[in-house]
């Protein structure tokens, strides 16, 4: 490590130039990283709903979809509007009443079971299909064109509009909350440091790591919208400590060494001291890769890579920046303005038995409460209630009913079998309507008599599909039971069949992720436990440290349960791994310093000194994490991002409290047991 440190110190300018080139390349390359807003794309490919969706895309070229509801227009006006929309680049087809009925005859003579799907009172509903997926740029442009040519009162909803709102909102808000986070974290760094220029060096270092992380995401091809929204803020928040530790260590070494030697020693000592912290954070993030749902892998790999890049930049780039700027700016100093922990240290030690009793009383109800927390899957629910797509979708449901579309794909062939299956499905409670060839046309009519447009829409060489309009919420108990019932009916008639559409995808998503929460928590606990075991050469210490942070996780997740709030399933699954990985560092720092102080002091005295020594460092670290995440939570209108960042910020606060209230009590109480389960633990 010393040779490495020597190389860094002696090649300052070369390293700075190297990083400038890498950052420029990364900023260019990041524009080629695709942001995936379709969360269903992370489902395993062997799920029935995904197989069905793939067949619809391959056989029928059905990808993105939207719905346009217009009010107060004559049939001929709607017909003209439909034709205009069909001519927009990116639009594949528009389905309306004129595809299944003669719109020239009076409404009272139309088949009500068919017409009610397209017209109701003074409203008409057009179903739009796009050539590309809901998240594609061409689909987004087509939606803009549809809005331009549609006049009067109208509502443009559906999956494509939800996706567009997600994209527009994320791209707009990410700049706002990043700026706010930057300002707040700058203030915290100024309060906790002794120089005015320190925060600038910290931001340049971690900012470089963030830019490289974003560029190197190209190796994955794409990242999810959730990862894109929070990865940079999280990377900044969890790895800023490394810069602070290096800077502080450098100034400590300056008291007895020249600048070059001080920096060489600082690099050696900082790397050895923060590598364990970085590994626990990386371990927590990598545990997300154990999720069956692919977004865990997406977020876990991106965040783990980001932490490693931050560590690398801190021990390579930051020493160069410090040495280049130290002489010129070192005179610009100020007092450290964060409070000291003198009183808190005495209070924490004196109340240790009370704290242990309270922790024992809280642990069980907190664990039980978090285990009963309810969560949701719908993408639409993650958007602000006043978003255009949410308002439009709610209005369409208000007029035409819930009508959540399931799509049943079955082999083309036996008309009688198809008709029987459709009749069975129609008889189900909750089925509003069924749309397909033989739900609209008698199966005895010869194929040559069926209109070409209808055949092209609903049939391919191998398959035919039917749109089942379900009069239930997009997710919930009734919807799940309805999907199971349809599946049973389809299995009675066919060996090969596929049920897809948003309700089916969310049902499969629930099945896939049902075990992810426990799997991720178990794996992250094992990984971090093993790292702690090796770091401290102890059996007891990893159990104590993990319990302290785990209690914080239970309390964190029990709060929304007692509030009666449902969480997005992603937040629920990954918060444990993130909070454990990101905040166990606080416990590591306190435990390491306590061990050091025990060499020359009795336990009570050693613990008081430990809290005084580490108080500001841990407070700074947690404040940065809280500032970075709370700024996102307060500003963003994307509910899933707001929930996740609120949980992380609150988790950092809870971990801070427990590390300075519960951890000292546990280390003191279990000190006799720690002695006999830890190699070279001081024997006072």
pLDDT single digits (tens) 406-420: 889 988 877 788 888
CATH number, residue 422: 3.30.70
Report the alpha-carbon distance of residue 230 to residue 574 in Å, rounded: 13
What is the pLDDT, as a whole number, of residue 335?
A: 67
Confidence band of 333 (pLDDT split at 50, 70, 90): low
What is the pLDDT, as a whole number, of residue 684?
A: 63
The token duo for 159 is 């999956």
Longest Cα–Cα distance in the chain: 97
The token duo for 51 is 């197989």
* Residue-averaged pLDDT of the chain: 85
What is the pLDDT, as a whole number, of residue 225?
A: 81
Pair 150, 243 in one domain: no
The token duo for 89 is 């680049």
**Which residues are CB-contacts of 256 (< 8 A; sequence separation ≥ 6)?**
none
What is the pLDDT, as a whole number, of residue 420?
A: 87
Any bridge partners for residue 465, and if so which? 409
pTM (two decimals)? 0.81
Pair 23, 114 in one domain: no
Confidence band of 453 (pLDDT split at 50, 70, 90): low
Per 3-state DSSP, the chain is made up of helix, strand and coil in percentages (nearest 5) of 70, 10, 20
What is the pLDDT, as a whole number, of residue 460?
A: 83
What is the pLDDT, as a whole number, of residue 190?
A: 79
Number of Cβ within a 10 Å radius of residue 329: 16
Pair 530, 636 in one domain: yes
**Which residues are CB-contacts of 168 (< 8 A; sequence separation ≥ 6)?**
none
Pair 523, 594 in one domain: yes
Secondary structure class of 333 (helix, strand, coil): strand
Pair 458, 321 in one domain: no
Query: What range defines the domain where residue 467 resides?
Result: 388-511
Q: What is the mean pLDDT of residues 609-627?
A: 85
Asked if 77 contacts 150 with a C-beta cutoff of 8 angstroms, the reply is no
Pair 652, 532 in one domain: yes
Find where tokens 């189900």 sit: 428
Q: What is the mean pLDDT of residues 630-654?
A: 88
Pair 553, 576 in one domain: yes
- Residue 216 pLDDT > 90, yes or no? yes
Pair 403, 332 in one domain: no
Asked if 143 contacts 66 with a C-beta cutoff of 8 angstroms, the reply is yes
- Write the burial class of residue 335 (CB in 10 Å: 0-12 exposed, 13-18 middle, 19+ buried): exposed
Number of Cβ within a 10 Å radius of residue 254: 17
Pair 203, 319 in one domain: yes
CATH number, residue 19: 1.20.1640.10
Strands 91-95 and 123-130: antiparallel
What is the pLDDT, as a whole number, of residue 332?
A: 60
Query: Minimal CA–CA distance to 678: which of 601, 581, 598, 580?
Result: 598
With respect to residue 175, please indicate whether it lies within any of the assigned structural domains. Answer: no
**Which residues are CB-contacts of 566 (< 8 A; sequence separation ≥ 6)?**
373, 374, 375, 376, 560
**Which residues are CB-contacts of 258 (< 8 A; sequence separation ≥ 6)?**
none
55-64, 339-348, 523-532: segment of lowest average pLDDT: 339-348
Report the alpha-carbon distance of residue 352 to residue 355 in Å, rounded: 5
Strands 498-500 and 154-157: unpaired
What is the pLDDT, as a whole number, of residue 554?
A: 94
What is the pLDDT, as a whole number, of residue 402?
A: 67
Confidence band of 445 (pLDDT split at 50, 70, 90): low
* Total of domains in the chain: 4
- Residue 552 pLDDT > 70, yes or no? yes
Helix (H) or strand (E) holding 594: helix 569-598
Q: What are the φ and ψ backbone dihedral angles of 299, each rounded to 5 degrees?
A: -70, -40
Report the alpha-carbon distance of residue 55 to residue 48 in Å, rounded: 11
Report the alpha-carbon distance of residue 267 to residue 262 in Å, rounded: 9
Q: What percent of the chain has pLDDT over 90?
A: 25
**Which residues are CB-contacts of 488 (< 8 A; sequence separation ≥ 6)?**
none
Number of Cβ within a 10 Å radius of residue 672: 8
- Label residues 447-469 b or e (16+ Cβ within 10 Å = b): eeebeeeeeebbbbeebbbbbbb
Query: Minimal CA–CA distance to 71: which of 142, 117, 126, 5?
Result: 126
pLDDT tens for each residue of 135-149: 788 899 999 999 999
Higher pLDDT, 621 or 214: 214
Report the alpha-carbon distance of residue 490 to residue 348 in Å, rounded: 64
What is the pLDDT, as a whole number, of residue 149?
A: 92
Q: What is the mean pLDDT of residues 673-682?
A: 90
Which of 490, 511, 532 corresponds to the end of one domain?
Answer: 511
Higher pLDDT, 212 or 343: 212
Report the alpha-carbon distance of residue 673 to residue 165 in Å, rounded: 56
Number of Cβ within a 10 Å radius of residue 394: 13
Report the alpha-carbon distance of residue 6 to residue 12 in Å, rounded: 10
75-89, 264-278, 600-614: segment of lowest average pLDDT: 264-278
- Residue 437 pLDDT > 80, yes or no? no
With respect to residue 459, please indicate whether it lies within any of the assigned structural domains. Answer: yes
The token duo for 383 is 């958007």
Confidence band of 1 (pLDDT split at 50, 70, 90): confident
Report the alpha-carbon distance of residue 383 to residue 677 in Å, rounded: 51
With respect to residue 382, please indicate whether it lies within any of the assigned structural domains. Answer: no
Number of Cβ within a 10 Å radius of residue 275: 14
Report the alpha-carbon distance of residue 260 to residue 1 in Å, rounded: 15
With respect to residue 271, please indicate whether it lies within any of the assigned structural domains. Answer: yes
What is the pLDDT, as a whole number, of residue 451?
A: 64
Report the alpha-carbon distance of residue 74 to residue 117 in Å, rounded: 17
What is the pLDDT, as a whole number, of residue 329?
A: 59
With respect to residue 141, please indicate whether it lies within any of the assigned structural domains. Answer: yes
Which of 442, 477, 511 corresponds to the end of one domain?
Answer: 511
With respect to residue 21, please indicate whether it lies within any of the assigned structural domains. Answer: yes
**Which residues are CB-contacts of 167 (< 8 A; sequence separation ≥ 6)?**
35, 37, 135, 140, 225
What is the pLDDT, as a whole number, of residue 441?
A: 63
What is the pLDDT, as a whole number, of residue 313?
A: 93
Q: What percent of the chain has pLDDT over 70?
A: 95
Q: What are the φ and ψ backbone dihedral angles of 151, each rounded to 5 degrees?
A: -115, 170
What is the pLDDT, as a whole number, of residue 450?
A: 65
Give the DSSP letter of residue 410. Answer: E
Report the alpha-carbon distance of residue 520 to residue 552 in Å, rounded: 17
What is the pLDDT, as a whole number, of residue 557?
A: 93
What is the pLDDT, as a whole number, of residue 659?
A: 93
Any bridge partners for residue 407, and if so which? 467, 500
**Which residues are CB-contacts of 461 (< 8 A; sequence separation ≥ 6)?**
59, 412
With respect to residue 37, please indicate whether it lies within any of the assigned structural domains. Answer: no
What is the pLDDT, as a whole number, of residue 655?
A: 92
pLDDT tens for each residue of 155-203: 998 888 988 888 888 878 878 877 888 888 888 887 877 677 778 888 8
pLDDT tens for each residue of 77-136: 999 999 999 999 999 889 888 877 778 887 777 777 677 778 888 899 998 989 888 878
With respect to residue 38, please indicate whether it lies within any of the assigned structural domains. Answer: no
Find where tokens 């108990």 sit: 477
Strands 404-411 and 463-470: antiparallel
Pair 411, 474 in one domain: yes
Confidence band of 678 (pLDDT split at 50, 70, 90): very high
The contacts found for 346-355 with CB under 8 angstroms, 24 or more apart, are 346/608, 348/607, 348/611, 348/660, 348/661, 348/664, 348/665, 349/604, 349/607, 349/608, 349/611, 349/664, 349/668, 351/665, 352/664, 352/665, 352/668, 352/669, 353/665, 353/669, 355/661, 355/662, 355/665
289-303, 443-457, 490-504, 666-680: segment of lowest average pLDDT: 443-457
Pair 494, 636 in one domain: no
Higher pLDDT, 23 or 344: 23
Pair 457, 486 in one domain: yes
């Amino acid at each position: 490590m010393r040779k490495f440190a020597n190389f860094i110190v002696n090649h300052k300018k070369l390293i700075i130039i190297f990083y400038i080139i890498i950052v420029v390349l990364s900023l260019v390359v990041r524009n080629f990283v695709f942001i995936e807003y379709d969360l269903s794309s992370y489902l395993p490919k062997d799920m029935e709903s995904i197989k069905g969706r793939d067949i619809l895309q391959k056989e029928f070229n059905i990808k993105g979809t939207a719905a346009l509801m217009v009010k107060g227009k004559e049939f001929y006006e709607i017909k003209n509007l439909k034709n205009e929309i069909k001519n927009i680049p990116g639009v594949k087809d528009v389905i309306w009443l004129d595809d299944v009925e003669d719109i020239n005859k009076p409404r009272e003579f139309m088949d009500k079971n068919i017409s009610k799907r397209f017209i109701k009172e003074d409203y008409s509903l057009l179903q739009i299909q796009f050539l590309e997926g809901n998240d594609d740029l061409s689909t987004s442009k087509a939606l803009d064109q549809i809005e331009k040519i549609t006049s009067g009162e109208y509502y443009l909803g559906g999956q494509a509009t939800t996706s567009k709102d997600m994209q527009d909102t994320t791209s707009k808000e990410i700049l706002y909350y990043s700026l706010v986070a930057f300002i707040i974290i700058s203030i915290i760094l100024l309060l906790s440091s002794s120089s005015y220029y320190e925060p600038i060096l910290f931001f340049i270092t971690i900012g470089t790591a963030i830019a490289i992380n974003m560029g190197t995401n190209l190796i994955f091809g794409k990242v999810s919208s959730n990862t894109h929204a929070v990865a940079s803020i999280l990377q900044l928040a969890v790895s800023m400590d490394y810069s602070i530790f290096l800077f502080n260590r450098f100034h400590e070494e300056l008291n007895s060494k020249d600048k070059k030697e001080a920096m060489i020693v600082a690099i050696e000592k900082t790397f050895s001291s923060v590598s364990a912290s970085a590994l626990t954070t990386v371990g927590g993030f990598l545990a997300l890769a154990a999720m069956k749902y692919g977004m865990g892998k997406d977020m876990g790999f991106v965040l783990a890579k980001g932490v490693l890049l931050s560590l690398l930049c801190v021990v390579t780039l930051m020493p160069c920046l410090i040495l280049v700027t130290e002489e010129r700016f070192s005179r610009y100093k100020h007092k450290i303005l964060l409070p000291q922990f003198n009183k808190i240290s005495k209070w924490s030690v004196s109340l240790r038995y009370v704290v242990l009793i309270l922790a024992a009383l809280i642990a069980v109800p907190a664990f039980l409460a978090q285990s009963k927390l309810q969560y949701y899957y719908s993408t639409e629910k993650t958007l602000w209630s006043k978003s255009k797509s949410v308002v439009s979708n709610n209005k369409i449901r208000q007029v035409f009913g819930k009508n959540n579309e399931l799509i049943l794909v079955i082999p083309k062939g036996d008309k009688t079998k198809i008709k029987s299956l459709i009749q069975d499905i129609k008889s189900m409670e909750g089925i509003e309507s069924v749309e397909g060839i033989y739900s609209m046309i008698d199966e005895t009519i010869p194929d040559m008599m069926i209109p070409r447009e209808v055949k092209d829409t609903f049939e391919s060489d191998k398959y035919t599909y039917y749109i089942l309009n379900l009069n239930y919420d997009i997710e919930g108990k009734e919807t799940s039971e309805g999907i199971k019932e349809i599946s049973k009916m389809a299995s009675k008639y066919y060996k090969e069949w596929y049920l897809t559409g948003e309700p089916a995808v969310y049902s499969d998503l629930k099945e896939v992720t049902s075990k992810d929460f426990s799997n991720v928590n178990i794996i992250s606990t094992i990984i971090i436990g093993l790292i702690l075991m090796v770091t401290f050469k102890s059996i007891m210490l990893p159990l104590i440290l993990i319990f302290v942070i785990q209690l914080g996780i239970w309390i964190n997740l029990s709060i929304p349960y007692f509030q009666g709030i449902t969480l997005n399933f992603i937040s629920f699954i990954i918060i444990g791994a993130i909070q454990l990985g990101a905040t166990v560092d606080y416990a590591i720092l306190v435990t390491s310093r306590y061990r050091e102080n025990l060499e020359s002091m009795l336990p009570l005295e050693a613990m008081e000194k430990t809290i005084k020594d580490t108080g500001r460092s841990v407070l700074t670290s947690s404040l940065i994490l809280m500032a970075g995440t709370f700024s996102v939570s307060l500003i963003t209108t994307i509910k899933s991002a707001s929930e996740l960042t609120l949980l992380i910020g609150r988790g950092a606060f809870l971990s801070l409290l427990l590390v300075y209230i519960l951890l000292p009590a546990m280390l003191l109480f279990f000190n006799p047991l720690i002695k006999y389960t830890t190699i070279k633990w001081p024997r006072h």
